[in-house]
């Protein structure tokens, strides 16, 4: 089934027509206090100039019922979205289809939500003191494997870079975007709207990375579990398909690893990926292809090009120099790597990014060798946290996976 796309916070006819032209199925107009608040008369003038078969949604937050009913009549909207603490009884007094919004924090009350007899449920991010339009996403895992009695629409921090991951994680009936396609606090960016719709449509056409059901084989976990270890200079090296290409790396394994990185990261427009060319370069390119973000790379030899940053590093099996390309002052960086052992390479990468005048916002590694305490070392030296997805013990003749974080 095709995913419905709602673009919210429309304030002008120009933006409304651009959203429709981009492929939006529904337009949202905010009638409660907000930078994007509009009047019923303005919305009426916009709706009168829209093509047919476009849903128009009025967004209200804890407004008196008479105000809502009057606004429906004056504006001509076709649906109502209630984003406050409105009761089911309140919803039943509205003679238009109702979307009931719920703000998600740390848990989801399924019984309460399913008690609302409305047309659809919309899930947005809970932020203290804000009723919506936060530009922040919530933990989508809170909705996984839950049964809702009405269609589900997801909002909260969506943009062209992460909506694909949302659809693969939840397959919602609809998506709702506002700040992710904005030009300013009150206007939209037509290029961002077109790109967002294209991303939703592409995600609907591509094979999905299914969530693992109980008992299914996890090929990413298995790539690091019960694999041979080789000792070099007193260090245990893990031989596997993803980092060593032994045996050859299956395309699906690389895709799964890159997808898990995208899911674990908080990706948004304006970020840049960074990694090193040795074992992490293949993964870095795969992540870039999936999320659409550009990447810079640190090489083990100099190019002599202007702007290249040189740093020393000391990892578990070698010391040397890294030469970072493609990172500019002011860049917001997500470092991606395949495996962390002692953390020496990561520390060098972080230093290189900082010398380039950029800021490291996140670090994601697929696997972590627990015995070498690299995560702790990176934290102690740089003050940054490293998020790892597969935690592996390397002792004896073979490896063993302790836990996964996805």
For the chain, give the mean pLDDT: 89
Same domain, 51 and 167: yes
- Asked if 74 and 155 sit in the same domain, the reply is yes
pLDDT tens string 207-241: 444 444 434 568 999 999 999 998 877 777 889 99
Please indicate, yes or no, whether residues 243 and 127 belong to a single structural domain of this protein: no
- Structural domain contains residue 305: yes
Q: Is 109 exposed, middle or buried, given 0-12, 13-18 or 19+ CB atoms closer than 10 A? A: exposed
- 136 and 238 part of one domain: no
Pair 345, 372 in one domain: yes
| Per-position DSSP letters for 382-397, written without gaps between them | HS---EEEEEEEEETT
Domain end: 162, 181, 205, which one?
A: 205
Query: In the predicted model, is pLDDT for residue 19 greater than 70?
Result: yes
> What's the pLDDT score for residue 10?
97
- The domain boundary, picked from 205, 229, 255, lies at 205
Measured CA to CA, the distance from residue 350 to residue 322 in angstroms comes to: 11
Q: Is the pLDDT of residue 290 over 80?
A: yes
Residue 154 CA to its chain's centroid (Å): 12
Question: Of 62, 91, 124, 365, which residue is the catalytic one?
Answer: 124
Flag whether 211 is in a domain.
no
Q: Which 3 state secondary structure label does DSSP give 42? A: helix
Question: CB–CB of 260/246 below 8 Å?
Answer: no
Q: Are residues 190 and 317 in the same domain?
A: no
pLDDT surpassing 50 at residue 46: yes
Write the pLDDT tens digit of every residue in 163-220.
988 887 888 999 999 999 999 999 999 999 999 999 998 876 654 444 444 345 689 9
- Specify if 213 maps to a domain: no
Q: Is residue 310 part of a domain?
A: yes
Would you say how long the chain is, in residues?
406
Residue 315 confidence class, pLDDT cut points 50, 70, 90: low
Residues 48 and 173 in one domain: yes
Place of tokens 């921090």: 157
**CATH classification at residue 305:** 3.40.50.2020
Structure token pair of residue 316: 């578990």
pLDDT in tens, 96-154: 999 999 999 888 999 999 999 999 999 999 877 666 556 688 889 889 878 899 999 99
Residue 132 confidence (pLDDT): 59
CA distance 208 to 213: 14
Kindly state whether residues 325 and 374 are assigned to the same domain.
Answer: yes
The whole-number average pLDDT for the span 261-265 is: 89
Residue range of the domain that includes 387: 219-404
Q: HEC string of 244-309?
A: CCCCCCCHHHHHHHHHHHHHHCCCCCCEEEEEECCCCHHHHHHHHHHHCCCEEEEECCCCCCCCCE
294: left (phi over 0), alpha (psi -120 to 50) or beta: beta
Picking from 308, 354, 365, 300, the residue whose alpha carbon sits closest to that of residue 331 is 354
What is the pLDDT at residue 214? 39
pLDDT for the residue numbered 209: 45
CA 274 – CA 335 distance, rounded (Å): 5
Task: Report yes or no on 212 lying in a domain.
Answer: no
Report the alpha-carbon distance of residue 32 to residue 207 in Å, rounded: 40
**Is residue 318 domain-shared with residue 174, that is, in the same domain?**
no
What is the band of 311 on the pLDDT scale with cuts at 50, 70, 90? low
- Which of 38-52, 160-174, 390-404 tops mean pLDDT? 38-52
In a domain, 279, yes or no: yes
Residue at 259 is within a domain: yes
Question: 317-326, 355-364, 385-394: which range is least confident on average?
Answer: 317-326
Largest CA distance in the chain: 78
Q: Considering the domain boundaries, does residue 226 fall inside one? A: yes
- Which residue is associated with the tokens 């206090």? 33
- Percent of the chain having pLDDT more than 90? 64
pLDDT for 215: 44
Please report, rounded to a whole number, the percentage of residues in the chain having pLDDT higher than 70: 91
Q: What is the 3-state secondary structure (H, E, C) of 36-68?
A: CECCHHHHHHHHCCCCCCCEEEEEECCCCHHHH
Determine the distance from the C-alpha atom of residue 210 to the mean position of all C-alpha atoms in its chain, rounded to a whole number.
16
- To the query of whether residue 131 is one of the catalytic residues in this protein, the response is no
Query: pLDDT tens digit string along 88-100?
Result: 999 999 999 999 9
Q: What are the two backbone dihedrals, phi and then psi, of residue 359, each rounded to the nearest 5 degrees?
A: -125, 125
Alpha-carbon span 3 to 172, nearest angstrom:
7
Mean pLDDT, to the nearest integer, of 251-264?
91
**Token reading at 130:** 């804000």
278 is annotated as an active-site residue: no
Where does a domain end: 151, 174, 205?
205
Q: Which of 49, 43, 48, 50 lies closest to 9 in space, CA to CA? A: 43
Considering the domain architecture, whether residues 284 and 330 belong to the same structural domain is answered as: yes
The residue written with tokens 């606090």 in the block is 185
Tell me what the mean pLDDT of segment 63-85 comes to.
97
> In terms of domains, do 291 and 314 share one?
yes
- The count of domains in the chain is 2
Alpha-carbon span 357 to 377, nearest angstrom? 23
What are the contacts of 50-55 at 24+ separation with CB within 8 A?
Answer: 50/16, 50/17, 50/20, 51/20, 54/20, 54/24, 54/25, 54/26, 54/27, 55/6, 55/25, 55/26, 55/27, 55/79
CATH number for the domain spanning 119: value is 3.20.20.70
Q: Are residues 106 and 227 in the same domain?
A: no
């Amino acid at each position: 089934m095709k995913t419905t796309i709602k673009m919210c916070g429309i304030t002008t006819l120009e933006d409304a027509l651009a959203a429709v032209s981009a492929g939006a199925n529904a337009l949202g107009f905010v009638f409660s206090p907000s930078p994007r608040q509009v009047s019923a008369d303005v919305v009426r003038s916009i709706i009168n100039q829209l093509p047919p078969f476009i849903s128009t949604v009025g967004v209200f937050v804890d407004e008196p019922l008479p105000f809502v009913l009057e606004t429906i009549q004056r504006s001509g909207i076709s649906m109502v979205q209630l984003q406050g603490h409105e009761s089911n009884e309140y919803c039943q007094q509205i003679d238009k289809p109702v979307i009931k919004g719920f703000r998600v924090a740390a848990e989801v009350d399924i019984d309460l939500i399913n008690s609302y007899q409305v047309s659809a449920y919309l899930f947005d991010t809970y932020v203290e003191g804000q009723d919506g339009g936060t530009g922040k996403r919530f933990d989508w895992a809170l909705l996984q494997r839950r049964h809702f009695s009405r269609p589900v629409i997801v909002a909260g921090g969506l943009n062209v870079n992460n909506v694909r991951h949302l659809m693969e994680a939840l397959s919602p009936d609809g998506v709702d975007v506002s700040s992710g396609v904005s030009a300013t606090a009150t206007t939209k960016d037509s290029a961002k709207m077109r790109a967002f719709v294209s991303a939703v449509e592409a995600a609907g056409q591509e094979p999905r990375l299914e969530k693992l059901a109980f008992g299914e084989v996890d090929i990413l976990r298995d790539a690091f579990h019960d694999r041979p270890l080789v000792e070099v200079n007193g260090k245990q090296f893990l031989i596997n398909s993803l980092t060593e290409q032994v045996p050859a790396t299956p395309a699906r394994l690389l895709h799964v690893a890159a997808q898990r990185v995208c899911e674990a990261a908080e990706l948004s427009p304006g970020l840049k990926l960074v990694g090193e060319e040795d074992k992490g370069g293949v993964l870095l390119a795969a992540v870039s292809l999936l999320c659409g973000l550009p990447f810079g790379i640190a090489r083990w030899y100099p190019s002599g090009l202007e702007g290249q940053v040189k740093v020393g590093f000391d990892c578990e099996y070698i010391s040397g120099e890294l030469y970072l390309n493609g990172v500019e002052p002011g860049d917001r960086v997500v470092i991606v790597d395949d495996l962390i052992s002692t953390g020496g390479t990561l520390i060098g990468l972080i230093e290189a990014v900082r010398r380039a005048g950029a800021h490291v916002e996140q670090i994601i590694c697929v696997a972590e060798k627990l015995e070498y305490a690299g995560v702790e070392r990176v934290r102690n030296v740089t003050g940054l946290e490293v998020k790892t997805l597969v935690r592996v013990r390397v002792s004896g003749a073979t490896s063993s996976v302790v836990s996964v974080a996805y």
